[in-house]
């Protein structure tokens, strides 16, 4: 169903011939919500499932290639959107995927915030499945050292959106948050296959159970609190009980040092 707040109808966009035959005759809608840096389109046709086209220019082309590679790899372990096509041409990239059943966890909790503690358990169980993938099978690195280097590059390039900082850091500069983060870096990190942005908008749910995850460009080996911190923070918007229920279902105690580190680090992306 079209949601005017999430996407708007547009005219079809030119795509390579190999993709054009797959998207012909569909109505196009431009996503208004995603923050990936790529243009995202929902392609609809009566009686058929929607398709999704992500389009990258020169600045985000490597991000799109990264996501495609991770999508193909993770499909052997978890339910992810099917990949229908991919194209590169003159500094532009296109990735065409299908849809997984369900609505995002955020959409569901917007309608029924009281369901957050119960849903938190399902989200934690899905996260356990992801973190149980053997790290020796994962070819992608996403650890804190790599992310710190990328965060520093973004800060020095003036790309950090300080006005979008969480309430705990609102009014601070990127440099202030950077200094605080380095001063309180945890002494040790664990290793797991992580999503990298395990938020409520990236998890699809049907009847209380997660049916898949989307936006996979940050998948890689990192400390599991990379995912736990983002999910904890997302659920806390719907109450302390939801965040606590997630940790209990996952089987881990709150680690304030790692929580704060990863939430600060996420501000740079």
Here the tokens at position 269 are: 């992306």
Selecting among 31, 197, 223, 266, the annotated active-site residue is: 197
31 is catalytic: no
Q: Which of 105, 112, 113, 124 is nearest to 239 (CA)?
A: 113
Q: How many CA atoms lie within 13 A of 235 on its CB side?
A: 26
- CA 79 to CA 65: how far, in whole Å? 20
State the CB neighbour count (10 A cutoff) for residue 216: 25
Contact 202, 213 (CB under 8 A): yes
State the CB neighbour count (10 A cutoff) for residue 201: 16
Q: Which residues have a catalytic role annotated? A: 197
């Amino acid at each position: 169903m079209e949601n005017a707040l999430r996407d708007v109808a547009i005219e079809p966009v030119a795509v390579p011939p190999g993709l054009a035959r797959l998207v012909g005759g569909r109505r196009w809608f431009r996503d208004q919500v995603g923050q990936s840096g790529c243009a995202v389109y929902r392609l609809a046709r009566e009686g058929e499932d929607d398709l999704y086209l992500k389009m990258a220019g020169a600045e985000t082309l490597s991000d799109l290639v990264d996501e495609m590679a991770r999508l193909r790899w993770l499909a052997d372990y978890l339910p992810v959107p099917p990949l229908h096509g991919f194209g590169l041409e003159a500094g532009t990239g296109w990735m065409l995927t299908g849809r997984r059943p369900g609505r995002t966890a955020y959409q569901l909790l917007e309608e029924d915030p009281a369901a957050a503690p119960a849903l938190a358990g399902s989200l934690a169980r899905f996260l356990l499945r992801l973190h149980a993938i053997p790290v020796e099978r994962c070819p992608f690195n996403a650890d804190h050292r790599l992310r710190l280097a990328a965060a520093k590059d973004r800060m020095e390039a003036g790309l950090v959106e300080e006005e979008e900082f969480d309430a705990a850091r609102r009014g601070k500069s990127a440099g202030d948050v950077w200094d605080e983060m380095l001063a309180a870096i945890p002494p040790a990190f664990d290793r797991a296959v992580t999503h990298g942005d395990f938020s409520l908008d990236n998890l699809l749910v049907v009847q209380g159970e997660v049916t898949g995850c989307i936006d996979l460009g940050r998948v890689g080996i990192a400390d599991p609190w990379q995912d736990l911190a983002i999910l904890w923070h997302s659920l806390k918007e719907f109450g302390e009980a939801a965040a606590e229920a997630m940790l209990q279902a996952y089987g881990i105690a709150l680690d304030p040092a790692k929580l704060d580190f990863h939430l600060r680090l996420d501000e740079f992306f």
